[in-house]
Structure 1
Amino acid sequence: MAKTNPGNFFEDYTLGQRIEHAVPRTVSGGERALYHALYPARHALHSSDEFARACGLPGSPLDDLAAFHVVFGKTVPDVSLNAVANLGYAEGRFRVPVYFGDTLRSVSEVIGLKQNSNGKSGVVYVRTEGLNQRGEVVLDYVRWVMVRKRDLDAPAPETVIPDLAKVVPAESLIIPEGLDFTGYDFTLAGEPHRWGDYEVGEIIDHVDGVTIEEAEHMIATRLWQNTAKVHFDATFRPDGQRLIYGGHVISMARALSFNGLANAQLIAGINAGAHANPCFAGDTVKAWTEVLDKSETAAPGVGALRLRLVATKAGEAGQLMGEDGKYLPNVLLDLDYWVLVPV
């Protein structure tokens, strides 16, 4: 009996299949230290216990995207070990902050399947929940991934594409219990810009850039226990290049967005996301943001901004699509998400 696991291929998935992913993980200050070493992450709420307590929280929570990567990483051996590419995200909500000492695990359900016309691969849609040691859902999201077929003659499943919301409604965003920005310290946060200072349609060029290194990507992908072959094995792709984990690009772009959005302290939801083009070591990532919408919240001093965060390899801020309606070749990431800011 074979004891090794080659991972799931497209024909191994069935609609409604529930997958409980292995290896729970207890997070500590080590995750924060490594996260802040890998990215220029400087948001005050995730850097200082004292700042977080002044905002009504019991302490500084783990960076939202670090929690996302831990939950995501658990799913890779079962969902995307044999992936060609991770394609997109939707309906993401951050529900409960993650604190040091919390133990996270992941559970996924297959909610859609579509074989590609070439018969060599297919798209698998999964809804994933990350849970803590109390069984609370800390975050959940939908993603879809292109997965290779093992047996090209395996019959195609019935095509089911889930009907996903284009936007997480602002009224359904979950504000962390106790969050209060009425005494917010703008000096310590690094910028003076409030919720009311941002206008719908505004474009913010975050100016800075970071050249992606092979070594940092390997550290990041191992940190999140992401075992996808396209990230590690240079022989897995015809071009001999290791694909940079899309989450690495998301975190890099989010960190770069501090310059102009230093007060976007917490991520509340992910409306949509696409890895538009592959990223490889040596690419220099820059970022810009478009303000898509604004909403008030019931929490004291807290407002919500809906933002489009775009990571690019080159080009001017605001340039996204070509005349053919497709992403420009320099665009790496298009992420539509909600953040919480002081009013």
Structure 2
Amino acid sequence: MTKTNPGSFFEDFNLHQRIDHATPRTVTSGDQALYTALYGSRFAVQSSDFFASSIGYRHAPIDDLLTFHIVFGKTVPDISLNAIANLGYADCQFLGPVYPGDTLMAESQVIGLKENSNGKTGTVYVRTIGINQRDDEVLSYVRWVMVRKRDERAAAPEAFVPQLPKRVEPSALGRDCPVIDPALWDNDWSGSPHRFGDYAAGEKIDHVDGMTVEEAEHQLATRLYQNTAKVHFNQFSEAQGRFGRRLIYGGHVISLARALSFNGLGNAFHIAAINGGRHVAPLFAGGTVFAWSEILESADVPGRSDVGALRILTRATRDLPCPEFPVVDGTPDTPGVILELDYWALMPR
């Protein structure tokens, strides 16, 4: 019996299987500083204890996506160590703020399985819950991932694809955001004069700036999240794979797009939920990421007069500036859209 973990293959998963993931991770201000160094995020609430506490937070919380990536990273050794690609996300809700000093843990349940037509891989659907040291749920999300089969001749489990909501309802938003004081929100400090009422459905925003990804950066990020997927950091094995090089973690693209969105959405200080997301095409080191966003909806948050919610669809591109607001062109071998992320963000009124 081997003492090492070879990771799970598609035929190892069972519907309704529950998995407790190792290892607990205490999040520190150092993690937040490294996250900022990797992506350059400038949102004031996560950048400044003074700003955050002045509007109603205890102090500056950990960036929402840093919380997501750490919880996600916990799941990789058990779910996606042998993955070919992470395919998408749905019904992601941020349920409680995470502060430096909190410890994050993760548990998952398999909610769907479907073998792919090639018989070599299958898609695994899991719901993951992130909890803190007080057993409070801070994050819940569904993702689906393409996983290799160990034995192509192995019988596939009965197919079951879960029905997932197209969006998180506005009534479920804002549980992890304390009541803030919009009168104390300083637009000069936050970097934007535009608040909730200044945006409308149908509006499109080119975030203008681009950020080139270096090989060392995306590997630092992957290790920061303790994400052990070999496709992201093992060039020895990936040189023999379908791309011939390391694939950048899709969450890295999400964080880059979110950081770039500051230019145009500077007061969208909190991601309350992710309705859905898909990685349209891969990204490799040397590619330059651009982004643009479309406002899909503007919604009241029930019981809240301090903030409103914008439903935003952000698209990230590879080597393609976005003044023309590019969408998926169906040609994966040409520069184009690499990410579509549909999410709710809170903004002061």
The TM tier, using the shorter chain, reads: over 0.9
1:310 aligns with 315
Q: Tell me, what secondary structure is at the counterpart of 1:35?
A: helix
Q: Which amino acid aligns with 2:128?
A: T
Does 2:168 match 1:168?
A: yes
1:340 to 328, 341, 346: 346
Distance 1:38 1:320 in 2: 26
Q: Tell me, what secondary structure is at the counterpart of 1:162?
A: coil
1:176-231 deviation line (CA, Å, top 9, x unaligned): 23333332111100010011111111110000001110000110000000000110
1:238 to 237, 242, 246: 242
Structure 1 residue ranges, 4+ long, deviating more than 6 angstroms after superposition: 324-328
2:296 aligns with 292
Conserved? CA contact 2:210–2:321, under 8 Å: no
Does 2:116 match 1:108?
A: no
2:328 to 321, 336, 339: 321
Q: 1:165 to 1:326 in 2, by over 3 A?
A: farther
Q: 1:152 to 1:222 in 2, by over 3 A?
A: same
Conserved? CA contact 1:180–1:302, under 8 Å: no
Distance 2:126 2:174 in 1: 22
Q: 1:126 to 1:70 in 2, by over 3 A?
A: same
Deviation at 1:315, TM superposition (A): 5.1
1:57 aligns with 57
Unaligned runs of 5+ in 2: none
Unaligned runs of 5+ in 1: none
Conserved? CA contact 1:180–1:299, under 8 Å: no
2:285 to 281, 285, 294: 281
Q: Which amino acid aligns with 2:101?
A: G
Does 2:149 match 1:149?
A: yes
1:223 aligns with 224
Over the matched positions of the two proteins, sequence identity in percent amounts to: 58
Distance 1:23 1:58 in 2: 27
Distance 1:16 1:341 in 2: 37
1:266 aligns with 270
Paired residues in the alignment total 342
Q: 1:326 to 1:165 in 2, by over 3 A?
A: farther
Deviation at 1:54, TM superposition (A): 1.5
Q: Tell me, what secondary structure is at the counterpart of 2:264?
A: helix
Q: Tell me, what secondary structure is at the counterpart of 2:179?
A: coil
1:252 to 249, 252, 256: 256
Conserved? CA contact 1:61–1:98, under 8 Å: yes
Conserved? CA contact 1:320–1:327, under 8 Å: no
Q: Which amino acid aligns with 1:159?
A: A
Q: Tell me, what secondary structure is at the counterpart of 2:37?
A: helix
Q: Tell me, what secondary structure is at the counterpart of 1:207?
A: coil
- RMSD over aligned CA atoms reads 1.5
Deviation at 1:301, TM superposition (A): 2.0
1:14 aligns with 14
1:120-177 deviation line (CA, Å, top 9, x unaligned): 0000000000000010110110000000000111101111000000000111113323
1:120 aligns with 120
Conserved? CA contact 1:106–1:129, under 8 Å: yes
Deviation at 1:327, TM superposition (A): 11
Deviation at 1:240, TM superposition (A): 1.7
**What is the correspondence of 1:75-86 to structure 2 with a 5 Å cutoff?**
75-86=75-86
Q: Which amino acid aligns with 2:74?
A: K
TM-score (norm 1): 0.97
Distance 1:46 1:8 in 2: 36
Conserved? CA contact 2:10–2:150, under 8 Å: yes
Conserved? CA contact 1:321–1:327, under 8 Å: no
Conserved? CA contact 1:182–1:342, under 8 Å: no
1:18-72 deviation line (CA, Å, top 9, x unaligned): 0000110011111111001001100000001111111211110000000111100
Distance 1:159 1:327 in 2: 31
Farther-moved stretch of structure 1 (181-190 vs 141-150): 181-190
